[in-house]
A = this chain, B = another copy of it.
């Protein structure tokens, strides 16, 4: 592990996005949204994916100068075409449209087609907080997940994020894949040569397995709940809802037709829509209740849950968003640790794009 300051990673990522042709304002937004993952400890979705975005651009699948436009709209809704832009840019703009709609009529809801991977969903949900709004963000993704009883991979890890403002307490920020475990967690086990817990993945015939490499052998991630007896049909419902809100409502590629993130996999031969899809929502608190009343009760909700009696062996009961916020505070101060494979990837990217690589500030153990 080597540790990098946020600022040095910011400079590097920003220059990469400029180098692939993004206008400077887009490069800045994309950099901020990508590195939000590294700051918040969701390492699989941050700078570790930078070279993947570059390869998508090389494959002609990312348009660095998209003309993002509204296809349909009502007072409270819009369908946005991302023009094959970086999801990191398209998502911010689409969420801003949802916020503007909410300012006008109380809530705003935006479905997006023709986009790409957008990093962490929580970042866009949190865009609503400073407006005293609840923010909602979701996206479909490359098919890696088998619905209950299926051997086929038909859904992505399809995350849902909801950010809710509070008063003196920090906001509640839920941000989670609708699978039992995210793919990034499997990758960690692969590097350690460790077994996965039963309930995370199935093999190519649909049998439970502890093999962290099962996906490479035709296996699949499992919906939240793991198996039917433990409610995997509910995780399947959640993944389906995200897929339909993000892609069927907007006109993006849905289900097994969602375009893969990795550039070496071909696009579906018989596309049903354009690119990946996202879905965003913004709800003004004062469209339901005076803001101060709501915040008083959110503080009370949060305080009550945080002070709940923990199970022996656990320090405390957490509020959604606590771990990520605490990680961000530490990493802003002490820097962002990156594992050697990610560092190597960045160094190669720097060389290829003829840029100075970021310089680490320390070695972490």
Contacts and interface: CB of A to CB of B under 8 A. Distances in A.
A334 interface: no
Interface stretch (A61-69, A173-181, A346-354): A173-181
Copies in the complex: 2
B244 A235 contact: no
Q: Which of A74, A162, A176 neighbours the largest number of chain B CB atoms within 10 Å of its CB?
A: A74
Contact of A180 (B74, B111, B231): B231
Given A230-B197, A240-B172, A297-B272, A76 B248 contact: no
A297 B248 contact: yes
Nearest to A175: B237
Residue in A177, A298, A310 whose Cβ sees the most chain B Cβ within 10 Å: A310
Contact of A149 (B76, B151, B197, B316): B316
A311 B162 contact: no
Contact of A148 (B134, B197, B317): B317
Interface of A: 72-77, 79, 104-107, 109, 111, 134, 147-152, 154, 162, 164, 172, 174, 176-181, 197, 199-200, 202, 205-207, 224-226, 229-231, 233-238, 240-241, 243-245, 248-251, 254-256, 272-273, 283-285, 287-289, 293-294, 297-298, 300-301, 304-305, 308-312, 314, 316-318, 320
A-B pairs with lowest CB-CB distance, top 8: A74-B106, A206-B311, A174-B237, A75-B105, A77-B287, A77-B106, A149-B314, A176-B234
